Structure 1
Amino acid sequence: MFVGFATIGLLIGLGILLAQLGIIDEAGQRTLSTLAFFVASPALLLTVLESSDLKAVFSGNVVALAGAVVVSVAVIVAVSVIKGHDLATTTVAAQCAAYANAGNLGLPIAAYVLGDAALVAPLLLLQLLLLQPLALTLLDAAVSPIRLSVGAVLARPFKNPITVGSALGLALAVSGLRLPQVLNDPLELVAGMAVPSMLLAYGVSLRLGPLPGRGVSAGQLGLVVGLKMVVQPMSAYLIGRFIIGLDTEALLAVTVLSALPTAQNVFVIASRYNRGALLARDAIFVSTIASVPVVLLVTALIA
């Protein structure tokens, strides 16, 4: 497993070096990210899930992951009620505390550290099909002058290429069908670009991206980062071990995935609605740095 972390770290470091040398700039980073998001990651999830044991992947893992999310969100809601925060601010804070970077970091960690990229599928689907549409609906209700129809809100996740790739892979797995080799072989080649391109793009973004600035209180930032990096993985572990009774391998998977940092798209959403953008930016930065020792510690203790 530590070899897997070394692989991830070296590729991120290569991305940092390429940015430092000026070989890849911000435009190149966006191209890498776009390629991974729209093409390579959907292909990876499709090819991985079509031959996966869905019972093993989705059984108790979903319950532990979802339960950990509920714990973090519940704390944010309770604090927001006490302090009188508005709905939009509360929604962004809840995303900072519970919405994990399952795409850019979750897929590589699942593939190289946990040994199975399909393990990240429950978290991806939980976030893309439930958490993100719910957050957008709440934000739209709170601040947007244009109200989306119920149909438009429900259709949002299915316009996400990662969701589409996952859904197709799940459909193939459930039906027992397999893609013909003439389609499967090129898809696997494209899927092979997913993890390297994500990690290189992530390294470039670390080098070229802005550092956190002032504007967010230490208490507020500490709360969301503490929930994301400590409370959520601990909750996943406790639920998985004592309520569901997961085996060691599954317990490691749900705990590590719950310890992923806040996802970058939380900042995109916060900026779009002009609510909590600084909190989202700083939470992403701090939780990303903190996730390295946290995930290493979790792996060492459980594995």
Structure 2
Amino acid sequence: MLSRLAFFVASPALLVDVLSRTPFAQVVGHNLLVSASSVVITVAVYLAVVVPRWHPDLGEAVIGSLAAAYVNAGNLGIPIAAYVLGDVALMAPTLLLQLVCLTPLAMALMDVDALGRRPRPLETLLAVGRNPMTVCALAGVVMSLVGWRPPDLVMRPVEIVGGMAVPAMLLAFGVSLRLGPRPGASGSTGQIVTIVVCKLGVQPLAALALASALGLTGVHRLAAVVTAALPCAQNVFTHAVRYDRSVLLARDAGPSCRCP
């Protein structure tokens, strides 16, 4: 229930609130390119290792890829950007990439997987339109681009509901640790190791190489590497529960990436 509450109610409200206040013109640049490219490289490495060995279906591959490359840019990234990097705006490119591109794409693929067959174009469009995460992400983008935000009478309740997203995810995760099988009981140790190597090794190294190649220096290069090295977000577990795909893998991936 907590996961469904976070997925269908709290997270969509959070997306509208955050994206409608994000100045997109200030975050589109080299840092966004580095963030996007490091995600693509990390997912490619993960799939190249996992697909030949474990043969995951589409839903399992999506959850594993998210665990390997989707960083906790909100709950951890924003405080780190404020107190370590000295500027919260440095986390904006990654937030933009994940909320506007990665989340809608992943949810669309999960909806396709839930159909159990190759969908017709209209079915794909309808599935995307029924997903509250995708709809609210796009709504927030539109509001930011046109420079319009509903009055406080409307947005204040949205902010309050959105503030429930992270606590609900964390509580659901804690319940799964207490009442679910012990960590590693799913037999996915090999995939967990692959995820940890990709998340804490491949992604930050790729970000460092790309940032250096693009001429980023100082705090901007540091921001790219630190952001890429953040552990996977709790959203991944929520999505896994919502679609009933690789739930134990998503549950175990989060603490594993935090252990170092």
TM bin, normalised by shorter chain, reads: 0.7 to 0.9
Equivalent residue of 1:287, what SS? helix
Q: 1:113 to 1:203 in 2, by over 3 A?
A: farther
Note the C-alpha offset of 1:62: 3.5
Match of 1:237 in 2: 208
| Aligned counterparts, 1:55-70, within 5 A | 55-70=25-40
Note the C-alpha offset of 1:174: 0.7
1:153 is the counterpart of 2:124 = yes
Match of 1:74 in 2: 44
CA contact (8 A) 1:52 1:173 kept: yes
- Measured against aligned partners, the alpha-carbon deviations of 1:6-63 in whole angstroms (never above 9, x if no partner) come to xxxxxxxxxxxxxxxxxxxxxxxx2x33333222222222222222211233433432
CA contact (8 A) 1:60 1:244 kept: no
Match of 2:85 in 1: none
Q: Distance in 2 between matches of 1:249 and 1:264?
A: 30
Higher relative contact order (CA 8 A, sep 6+): 2
1:52 is the counterpart of 2:22 = yes
- Measured against aligned partners, the alpha-carbon deviations of 1:89-133 in whole angstroms (never above 9, x if no partner) come to 487346414446859x54322444435585523213322233443
1:264 is the counterpart of 2:237 = yes
1:107 is the counterpart of 2:74 = yes
Question: 2:153 corresponds to which letter in structure 1?
Answer: V
Q: Distance in 1 between matches of 2:44 and 2:225?
A: 19
* TM-score where L is the length of structure 2: 0.74
Q: Distance in 2 between matches of 1:134 and 1:246?
A: 36
Which of the residues 287, 291, 295 maps onto 2:257? Answer: 291
Q: 1:151 to 1:63 in 2, by over 3 A?
A: farther
CA contact (8 A) 1:72 1:227 kept: yes
* TM-score where L is the length of structure 1: 0.65
Q: Distance in 2 between matches of 1:198 and 1:76?
A: 25
CA contact (8 A) 2:30 2:214 kept: no
| Aligned counterparts, 1:190-209, within 5 A | 190-209=161-180
Which of the residues 99, 110, 121 maps onto 1:124? Answer: 99
Equivalent residue of 2:166, what SS? helix
- Measured against aligned partners, the alpha-carbon deviations of 1:139-183 in whole angstroms (never above 9, x if no partner) come to 579xx3x43212222443332222222222211111111212221
Q: Distance in 1 between matches of 2:138 and 2:58?
A: 30
Is the radius of gyration larger for structure 1 or structure 2?
1
Match of 1:43 in 2: 13
Match of 2:140 in 1: 169
Note the C-alpha offset of 1:74: 2.5
Equivalent residue of 1:107, what SS? coil
Q: 1:266 to 1:97 in 2, by over 3 A?
A: same
1:96 is the counterpart of 2:64 = yes
| Structure 2: runs of 5 or more not aligned | 83-87
Task: Say how many residue pairs are matched.
Answer: 249
